[in-house]
Amino acid sequence: MIDLLSPVGDFECLKAAVQNGANSVYFGADLFSARAFASNFDLENLEKAIIYAKTHGVKTNLTLNTLIKDNEFNDAFELAKKAYEFGIDAIIVQDLGLAKQLIKYFPDLPIHASTQMSIHNLQGVLKMQELGFKRVVLARELSIQEIEYICQNSDIEIECFIHGALCISYSGQCLFSSMIGGRSGNRGKCAQACRLPYELLENDKKIDSGHLLSPRDLCGLDFIPNLINAGVTCLKIEGRMKNPEYVAIVTNIYRKYIDLAESSQKYVVDETDRKTLLQAFNRGMSSTGHLSNEPNKNLIFKDKPNNMGLLLGKVEKYNKTKGYITIKLKEPIEIGDTISLEKEDGTYNVSELMFKGKNIKVTQIGQTITIGRMKGNINLGDKIFKISSKKLNSIAQESIKNEHRKITLNCKITIKNKKTIKLNVTSANDIDIYDGLNINCESDIIPDIAKNKPLEKERVLTQLNKTHDSMYEFKNINIELDDGLFLPKISVLNELRRTALDLVYNFAVNNIKRSCKVTNHDKLKNESPSCKRQLSVLLNILNINFDYSKLENIDNIYIPLNYFFSKKYSNIIYTLSQKFNLYIYMPTILKANYSNLFYNNIEKNIQKYNIKGFVISNISNLKLLEDLGNNFNLIANYTFNIFNKYSVNELKQLGITRFTISPESDKNILENLCRSEIVLYLVN
């Protein structure tokens, strides 16, 4: 069965996910989460969240998925250790140094490679598999065909996003927020600069404007069967910054369609459900993201960067004095719904509806109605959007309040003459924390001989089945009841049931927690540089009209890979190879078709230009270069996001000799890492 993974920003969101059918949830702690502005959980509530989810049969994933500085490393490790003791099922990590320490010291704890690691091809996935990761969260920019190829050629768990917000850049590779606002997405504080309005200029003339870098949200309902058939392990819903109603609605619908896809029934998406997802939250009515095998030419929605809701219609009449708007409805609306208008930034709560001069509470599609008490920048022809539905939110809130997700148990009760009442409870589910459950309870009440109406099995059954407010229910109840007995207090059965279920809960909680013998992680010392300083130059753009033989006083030249595939630049590259140490500068993103081009041409280029090494830009490059032998120098590009000496140490063990510091580094990172062998270069 494929895993449905839902986002959790606080405890109400956790309830929403659990009660609406999530198999797993992911959430952050107060520190080191890629959603630093979500509510997240402190240690006390982290433990409570893990217990709540796991006692309900839902697995838990901690998002420890930001880049870690050396002076934060101890705290990050201790947080992971606490989560391990609390019973977390997996930890999602971006920082390679931290990940490898967790894999080493907690070998029974699955570590997942975050989408922030930009794993986008088979080579990257296979490298993660070799390094001991249990699961890879693939980059969101992959098509079904690419995902299937990866799944069929690897043995590691594969997780894909199925719904929610998309970034304009590969996760982990975007420096936009950091460069213009000092808030790093790699540190969990993205300012979402891509959601701002921009102008597109050509020869100083504006040719377009709007939110030109803001992608539509992803809605992957149509791709669920394809992803299941491809071999994906887990489908992930984005949205740790969203409210509980969103989590409830989206989880519930994806639960429905995953179950449908895994059944023998025909897979057809009900358009009502699709519209419900759009009502919960959508940017630009959503899209298929990158999942389709065809290019998505409808990815960007430049009109609005946030939730647009559903189009209700256009303003047909507006009485400015009374605040009356007349509109012909494309969607139903009712008192308590929230709407917005095209030229207004805020929202309105619908408090007055009229049809043919009479007040009404609900409406129908096609009706021409009047919405009252509306003031602001409103004009004829303005679009009106239904941002939220009171009815939909009420259904979502009701799902959170009650226990809809039941853990099934077996029950045997024995009521015998002249003996105390005994109750035995065992597991009737396949959840591991309930394995071996065998609870025995006994009441000191001894049944009397009935004078009138004796106790019947149906009455016993009714009392034992009063588990509506509990997470537990009895799937099978075996009643051994002697004839002709009477209970002085029928409430004894209720007390016995409650006592037994409390013991079941305690049994499960005790099985969740782990003992931990780990006292500390590796302590790494700073190393002194072992080689002289060198000057390296990246020639990002080659100019065929420039005489490169005039370059002097340079040790290493980096040439982007694509130039080696064009005869047009062969003379330039040859000239450079005769004077300097020549390195091939690998692209950050290398899809399968480009990998084939690389394999078909690389060996002859290495020999022709006496290549000394490679600047690798993604961990997948290591796997790509394996067949070329180990006679090359390898330099880690800034795209590796190296923030600490633990990551440096891990990459050294993989054969990398030099490291380019991240542009997001601060003074402390520079001082700490520059004691190791690091490459710094500027690109103009």
CB 9 within 8 A of CB 40: yes
Distance of CA 570 to the CA centre of its chain: 44
Query: Does the pLDDT at position 681 exceed 60?
Result: no
Q: Give the number of other CB atoms < 10 A from CB of residue 466.
A: 12
Query: Does the pLDDT at position 563 exceed 90?
Result: yes
3-state helix, strand, coil in the chain (%, to 5): 35, 25, 45
Q: What is the mean pLDDT of residues 543-565?
A: 94
Which 8-state DSSP code applies to residue 640? G
- pLDDT of 98-134, one tens digit each? 999 999 999 999 999 999 999 999 999 999 999 999 9
Return the CATH number of the domain spanning residue range 536-679: 3.20.20
Q: What gap in Å lies between CA 519 and CA 522, rounded to an integer?
A: 10
- pLDDT of 635-656, one tens digit each? 999 999 999 999 999 999 999 9
Predicted confidence band of residue 376 (pLDDT cuts 50, 70, 90): confident
At 301 the pLDDT is 95
Query: Does the pLDDT at position 676 exceed 80?
Result: no
Residue with tokens 């919405």: 371
At 680 the pLDDT is 52
Q: What is the mean pLDDT of residues 137-156?
A: 97
Structural fold of domain 3-168+209-280:
TIM Barrel (3.20.20)
Smallest CA-to-CA distance from 369 within 418, 339, 424, 327 is with 327
- pLDDT of 566-601, one tens digit each? 999 999 999 999 999 999 999 999 998 888 888 888
Question: Fold match between 3-168+209-280 and 310-401?
Answer: no
At 32 the pLDDT is 84
Q: What gap in Å lies between CA 610 and CA 198, rounded to an integer?
A: 45
Predicted confidence band of residue 683 (pLDDT cuts 50, 70, 90): very low
Residue with tokens 């209970």: 487
Query: Does the pLDDT at position 158 exceed 70?
Result: yes
Domain ranges of the chain: 3-168+209-280, 310-401, 407-512, 536-679
CB 638 within 8 A of CB 659: no
Q: What gap in Å lies between CA 11 and CA 432, rounded to an integer?
A: 23
Query: Does the pLDDT at position 529 exceed 90?
Result: no
With H, G, I as helix, E, B as strand and everything else as coil, classify residue 474: strand
Buried-state track 517-544, b at ≥16 Cβ within 10 A, e below 16: eeeebeebeeeeeeeeeeebbbbeebee
Structural fold of domain 310-401:
Elongation Factor Tu (Ef-tu); domain 3 (2.40.30)
Residues above pLDDT 90, as percent of the chain: 85
- pLDDT of 452-503, one tens digit each? 889 999 999 999 999 999 999 999 999 999 999 999 889 999 999 999 999 9
